[in-house]
Structure formats: structure tokens, C-alpha cells
Amino acid sequence: MAHGKSQFAVWRCTKCNTPIKTTAYNKQNNETITKELKKFCKKCRAHVPAKRKDAKKSS
């Protein structure tokens, strides 16, 4: 497996901007990944739309 092609995505609550989850994904599959998901935010204590923000893994 080649390294350096995976990226990290941070899911942030659209209401309070709290990072909910961090996921890693393959950059090549980028277009198949949704950019918004409903996730549970601990701070809001509710399911809220979370937006994905890409973050490159620092090498």
C-alpha cells in the first residue's frame, strides 16, 4: 500500500463548529465521499449536519 495518498477529514458541527469526528480516506475516492452528514454532536446534544473539512496529514 502506498502511503501519502490518504487524507484526513474533520467533521464539524455546523451549529457550534465543534469537531465531531475525524476520518481518514483515500484521496482517489474523494468524489464518492459525501461532504455533509448528519452526526451526533455532544455539545448540541442532537443530530446536526456536520460538514467535512479536509486536512492533509502532516508528514
Question: For binding to Zn ion (CB under 5 A), which residues are involved?
Answer: 13, 15-16, 41, 43-44
Nearer to Zn ion, 11 or 41 (CB): 41
DSSP H or E run through 56 = none
**CA–CA distances in Å: residue 41 to residues 9, 51, 57:** 16, 12, 24
Q: Which is nearer to Zn ion, 3 or 45 (CB)?
A: 45
Minimum distance from residue 32 beta carbon to Zn ion (Å): 26
Query: Which three three-digit cell numbers place residue 43?
Result: 455539545
11 vs 13, which CB is nearer to Zn ion? 13
